[in-house]
Amino acid sequence: MNAATWRGLAAAVALLAPGALFAQSTLDAVRAKGFVQCGVNTGLAGFSQPDSKGVWRGLDVDLCRAVAAAVFGDASKVRFTPLTAQQRFTALQSGEVDVLARNTTWTITRDTSLGLNFVGVNFYDGQGFMVHRKLNVKSAKQLNGATICVQPGTTTELNLADYFRANRMTFKPVVIEKLEEVLNAYFAGRCDVFTTDVSGLVSVRGSRAPNPADHVILPEVISKEPLGPAVRHGDDRWFDVVKWTLFAMIEAEEMGLTSKNIDQALASKDPAVQRFVGATGDIGKMLGLDNRWAFNIVKQVGNYGESFEANLAPLGFERGLNQLWNKGGLLYAPPIR
Amino acid sequence: MRRALLVQAALVAAVALAIGWFWYNAAHNLETRKIASGFAFLAREAGFEIGETSGLAYSAADTYLRALAIGLANTFRVAAIGVVLATVLGVLLGLARLAPNWLLARLAGAYVEFVRNVPLVVQLFFWYALISENLPGPREALEPLPGVYLTNRGIFFPLPGSRPELVGFNFEGGGALSPEFAALLVGLTTYTAAFIAEIVRAGVLSVPRGQRDAARSLGMSERQALSYVVLPLALRAIVPPLTSQYLNLTKNSSLAVAIGYPDLVSIANTTINQTGQAIEGIAIIMAVYLTLSLSISAFMNWYNRRVALKGVRA
């Protein structure tokens, strides 16, 4: 049996156990064990990937660290569980991870039938196609009859079928679970096309392709892929903690608070900043956290923009839709007050 | 007697209670966490494409049930062909190990020791890489025989009335073996054949030497003695362990997911992921493999009884 099947079995067995196992609140359970268990991608540069020293880096990884900073005041109190696309939901359902931050698309089916809740969006994305340059393909409309590499258990797999049906074209899928294996198949020429979210294409072309110039990302973006962290359904307190952790990172950027200047912000006269850093008010307590939860997030992990610059900008990502709302993007945090 | 019956009844009751308890908990947990349950999803549109369908019709507009049936057909196809090829190769290797020719016997021995001591999944990656990374793309295809093309998209060969031709990205027409199918079939066949070779060798050696000597003294040649006396006797020792090798091959075919062959487990995994219904998906996988394995066992038991010596207790 492969790993996904084992996890499926594990989830099935976990569901056979008494309900009391899940009655405990996640926040209490996390405090009791002393760390946040975070489900991340097995290796997608810019989102979650271990660096040369074995330290996990990426936009999703930073969200996990921010949750640890909010809960414990210590961003290092987090452990990572690398998950494939197929393993991720069962890992969250069965309680193996507390947060799933694994470039996962928010859809109504997942939100309503998988027993999980998306807390928001930390990356606005869309599905695209990458082809071998030597095929001389300029548009996705020219892909009739192509062989396409794709990972199973993704929205990508479904959008792909939809797109070809809508355009009355056919294709041959080659479906492999492990990112390394599916990329090997594409780079070796087993497939004409590799498809996933555009962010994933940019990431693997920059970090995995033997020669990035041999591959072209086609102009068509065929879907909306809002990627966001998710938690188990039915635990509103934990849902609030993770949701406002994400919003705090976005709000900090909007307020101009960074890991560098947040110490000075403690003495700020701006009432909004005072509330944010916990100098006044009791927003932290309302969340069931320390009043300096947001200060700790920004101090130890940074704001959203800092995380983007550190992880995604070096790979050639533009802010695009992932810019603040008042700068032409879609990132918008409700007021922290 | 009475007491034994009571113990039996208590045991059955305990098992039933445990099952009931698990069932109740599962239903309760699924309900409280709003995870969908039941088999209604089988009638819903699958929405994903499948690379190869063993000759059956399928499109993304078909149901999950149909998709799973395609997966089963793919499992069945690779297992059925694999069993036949592994038996042929295994018998040849087993006899080669017993051959008087020193080199032949040693080569066969080396093959068996090497192949059965390397994990199957590693061998599958090897065969898959061999095909997908070493063969050229369709536009530069090798043509060892007229109309036969070797490419990293698979092996294309002519069928009566239909020849493979390069159309756009790939070959169309004729017959085709995908790299995933070919790698899985070769991997399963060569791996299982190593075990079958040992079973055949042991079976032949289990026939007392006197049987062969007797056949020879009746004037049979070495070859006649082997095919009329030794092999029929050896068969009785071979069939039962052979059954478990057939079962192994069928179950090992689920390693297909590693190299992207759309077998039952691969399709069921995708289904679990798209619907979130892990319990139902795993139950389907288990039920199908159980049915397949029991069918193979039943057939082999029937065959075993047929070849058994009449009136002799095994």
Chain B residues with CB-CB distance to A133 below 8 A: none
Least trusted range by pLDDT, from A112-121, B141-150, B200-209, B304-313: B304-313
Structural domain of residue A196, as residue ranges?
A: 127-223
Is B152 near chain A, with CB under 8 Å?
yes
Per-residue model confidence (pLDDT) at position A12? 59
Interface test with A, best of B127, B274, B277, B289 (most A CBs within 10 A): B274
Prediction ipTM score:
0.81
Portion 44-103 of A in contact with B at CB < 8 A: 85-86, 89-90, 93
**According to the 3-state scheme, what is the secondary structure of chain B?**
CHHHHHHHHHHHHHHHHHHHHHHHHHHHHHHHCCECCCCHHHHCECCCCCCCCCCCCCCCCCEHHHHHHHHHHHHHHHHHHHHHHHHHHHHHHHHHHCCCCHHHHHHHHHHHHHHHCCCHHHHHHHHHHHHHHHCCCHHHCEEEECCEEEECCEEEECECCECCEEECCEEECCEEECHHHHHHHHHHHHHHHHHHHHHHHHHHHCCCHHHHHHHHHCCCCHHHHHHHHHHHHHHHHHHHHHHHHHHHHHHHHHHHHHHCCCCHHHHHHHHHHHHCCHHHHHHHHHHHHHHHHHHHHHHHHHHHHHHCCCCCCC
CATH number at residue A282: 3.40.190.10
Does residue A208 share a domain with residue A148? yes
Split into its structural domains, chain A has a count of 2
pLDDT computed for residue A21 by the predictor: 46
Q: Does A200 fall in a domain?
A: yes
Contact A278, A291 (CB under 8 A): yes
Q: Is residue A332 part of a domain?
A: no
Q: Is B312 exposed, middle or buried (0-12, 13-18, 19+ CB in 10 A)?
A: exposed
CB contact A4 to B (< 8 Å): yes
> Minimal Cα–Cα distance from A110 to chain B, Å?
8
Residue A180 contacts B, CB cutoff 8 Å: no
Q: Is B273 on the interface with A (CB under 8 A)?
A: yes
For each of the domains in chain B, give its residue range(s) and CATH number, in order of start: 65-120+185-307 (1.10.3720.10)
Q: Is A11 within 8 Å of B278 when comparing Cβ atoms?
A: yes
d(CA A218, nearest CA chain B) in Å:
17
Domain end, chosen from A223, A254, A272, is at: A223
A233 and A85 in a common domain:
yes
* Chain B contact present for A236, CB below 8 A: no
Q: Examine the domain organization and report whether A115 and A232 are in the same domain.
A: yes
Closest chain B residue to A188, measured at CA: B133
For chain B, what is the mean pLDDT? Answer: 91
CB pairs under 8 A between A and B: 174
Would you say residue B226 has pLDDT above 50?
yes
- Residue pair A83/A101 in contact (Cβ under 8 Å)? The answer is no
A104/A206 same-domain check: no
Last residue of a domain, one of A223, A254, A284: A223
A19 in B contact zone (CB under 8 Å) = yes
Q: Find, among A178, A203, A224, A263, the residue nearest to A59 by Cα.
A: A203
Residue A334 lies in a domain: no
Nearest CA distance, A15 vs chain B (angstrom):
5
pLDDT at A7: 56
Instruction: Please give the structure tokens belonging to residue A184.
Output: 């090997």
- A14 and A145 in a single domain? The answer is no
Does the CB of A182 have a partner CB in chain B at under 8 Å? yes
- Higher-confidence position of A118 and B162: A118
Taking CA–CA distances from B51, the nearest residue in chain A reads A173
Chain B CB within 8 Å of residue A165 CB: yes
For residues A46 and A113, state if they share a domain: yes
A141 interfaces chain B, CB cutoff of 8 Å: no
On whether both A234 and A318 belong to a single domain, the answer is yes
Looking at the structure, tell me whether residues A298 and A198 fall in a common domain. Answer: no
User: What is the tens place of the pLDDT at every residue in B237-248?
Assistant: 999 999 999 999
Amino acid in position A156: T
Per-position pLDDT tens, chain A of length 337: 455 555 556 655 665 655 444 557 999 999 999 999 999 999 999 999 999 999 999 999 999 999 999 999 999 999 999 998 888 998 998 899 999 999 999 999 899 888 899 999 999 999 999 999 999 999 999 999 999 999 987 889 999 999 999 999 999 999 998 888 899 999 999 999 999 999 999 999 988 999 999 999 999 999 999 999 999 998 999 999 999 999 999 999 999 999 999 999 999 999 999 999 999 999 999 999 999 999 999 999 999 999 999 999 998 889 999 999 999 999 999 999 8
Considering the domain architecture, whether residues A203 and A235 belong to the same structural domain is answered as no
Helix (H) or strand (E) run with residue A159 in it: helix A155-166
| Domain edge (last residue) among A199, A223, A247 | A223
